[in-house]
């Protein structure tokens, strides 16, 4: 397989080839020197799915056996985290692969990652664990549960806390689990990419995918909580592994051609497989038995195919309309802050705006009130994410100039 330099040469040569032969050019060349707006749009889709899921779980009927078609559809939203994993595996591996032979490889990558992730993350922890306990008297039970176990959050190990507890009901802040998994990935993966060539790296990704899939089947069959296998790092590497493999494979003409040709079929098969899992479990929720054993891999394959199709057809009107419009690109840009902000904001507004009204309202009025609440909660969360980016994150990211790629 080619290096990033070889890929750029291949891309330049492909521009002079007849249209039929240009199809053999690799799908990507350099992500450190190019920007793909459609990837921002995919990130926007991921966070919108997560927001829909968390808002939907706040509805009183979401926990009933017959939640209704609309609330049933919101159950799909948790899969947005797996789309985040696909994008992280793809983007991070692309950056590492392109810079592995440059001076300051580890320093630059870790410095840039820490500037992107740590400041806002730890600012949230300071607010939760140091500021709010001084302001709120008494401290709400959901906040108290996080404060009591705050060490796991400070160490980026919250996913293991939830895995040990067996569910997300004992301690609040369940949405921190995926941030912990990604941070653990960021620390280990640069070493893996540095030491392995292209072929071995792809095989390593396939091995990690197989380990995740097989370990879930073994653990769930052995009686381990499905929520635990959802949260543990080594049982939820599917998306990261597939994204990383695509980052390497799509840089060479032949793998690009093969993956591009099978992606539409793979997407359809993944959708059909998900419907089969839904039929076995009765819902799309992540803690169902069949979903925990098979679903995460199916979802990762489906989103991997979506990534390939978006990269291949990013100039087509339908892709541009869906993923490169201003709202989706901006939502993708603000997705990190939106991910951290939407749960506490929605929870506070639900208790302040919806619960007091819904207790006295008729079912139709309560349904309308919930829709209004959801719109207000999303607008407030999006505004907070916008402010976070322009007031805080963008200024911190300016420090990346001290960790510039050669």
Of residues 216 and 29, more confidently modeled: 216
Q: What are phi and psi of 265, to 5 degrees?
A: -65, -40
Of residues 189 and 25, more confidently modeled: 189
Is pLDDT above 80 for 16? no
Is pLDDT above 50 for 215? yes
The DSSP element (H or E) to which 192 belongs, if any, is helix 176-195
Residue with tokens 């810079």: 99
Residue with tokens 């199809």: 23
pTM of the model: 0.92
Helix residue ranges, H only, 59-138: 69-74, 80-99, 105-126, 132-135
pLDDT (0 to 100) of residue 24 = 62
Residue of 248, 244, 107, 226 whose CA lies nearest to 182: 244
DSSP structural state of residue 140 = P
Is pLDDT above 70 for 19? no
Of residues 406 and 172, more confidently modeled: 172
DSSP structural state of residue 35 = -
Of residues 359 and 224, more confidently modeled: 224
Is residue 251 within 8 A of residue 28, CB to CB? The reply is yes
Tens digit of each residue's pLDDT (9 = 90 or more) over 47-97:
999 999 999 999 988 887 777 788 889 999 999 999 999 999 999 999 999
C-alpha–C-alpha distance, residues 224 and 367, integer Å: 37
Tens digit of each residue's pLDDT (9 = 90 or more) over 344-360:
999 999 999 898 888 88
Is residue 62 within 8 A of residue 56, CB to CB? The reply is yes
Question: For 50-83, b where at least 16 C-beta lie within 10 A, e where not — what string?
Answer: bbbbbbbbbbebbeeeebeeebbebbbbbbbbbb
Residue of 138, 175, 139 whose CA lies nearest to 54: 175
């Amino acid at each position: 397989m080619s290096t990033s330099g070889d890929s750029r040469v291949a891309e330049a040569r492909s521009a002079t080839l007849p249209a039929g032969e240009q199809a053999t050019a690799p799908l990507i060349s350099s992500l450190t020197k190019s920007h793909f707006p459609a990837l921002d749009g995919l990130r926007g889709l991921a966070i919108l799915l997560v927001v829909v899921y968390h808002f939907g779980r706040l509805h009183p009927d979401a926990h009933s056996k017959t939640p209704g078609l609309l609330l049933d559809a919101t159950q799909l939203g948790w899969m947005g985290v797996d789309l985040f994993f696909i994008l992280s595996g793809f983007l991070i591996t692309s950056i590492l692969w392109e810079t592995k032979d440059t001076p300051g490889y580890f320093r630059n990558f870790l410095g840039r990652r820490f500037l992107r992730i740590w400041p806002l993350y730890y600012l949230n922890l300071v607010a939760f664990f140091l500021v709010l306990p001084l302001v709120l008297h008494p401290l709400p039970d959901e906040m108290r549960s996080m404060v009591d176990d705050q060490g796991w959050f400070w160490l980026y190990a919250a996913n293991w806390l939830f895995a040990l507890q067996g569910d997300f009901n004992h301690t609040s802040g369940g949405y921190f689990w995926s941030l912990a998994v990604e941070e653990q990935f960021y620390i280990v993966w640069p070493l893996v990419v540095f030491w392995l060539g292209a072929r071995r790296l792809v095989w390593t990704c396939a091995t990690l995918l197989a380990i995740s899939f097989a370990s879930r089947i073994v653990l769930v069959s052995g009686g381990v909580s499905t929520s635990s296998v959802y949260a543990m790092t080594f049982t939820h590497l599917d998306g990261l592994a597939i994204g990383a493999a695509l980052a390497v494979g799509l840089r060479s003409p032949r793998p690009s051609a093969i993956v591009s040709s099978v992606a539409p079929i793979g997407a359809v098969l993944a959708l059909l497989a998900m419907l089969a899992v839904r039929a076995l479990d009765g819902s799309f929720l992540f803690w169902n038995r069949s979903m925990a054993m098979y679903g995460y891999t199916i979802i990762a394959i489906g989103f991997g195919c979506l990534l390939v199709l978006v990269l291949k057809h990013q100039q087509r009107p339908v892709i541009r309309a869906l993923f490169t419009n201003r709202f989706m690109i901006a939502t993708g840009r603000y997705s990190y802050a939106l991910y951290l902000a939407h749960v506490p904001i929605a929870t506070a507004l639900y208790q302040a705006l919806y619960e007091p009204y819904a207790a006295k309202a008729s079912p139709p009025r309560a349904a309308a009130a919930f829709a209004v609440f959801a719109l207000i909660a999303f607008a407030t969360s999006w505004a907070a994410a916008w402010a976070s980016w322009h007031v805080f994150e963008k200024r911190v990211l300016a420090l990346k100039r001290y960790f510039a790629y050669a």
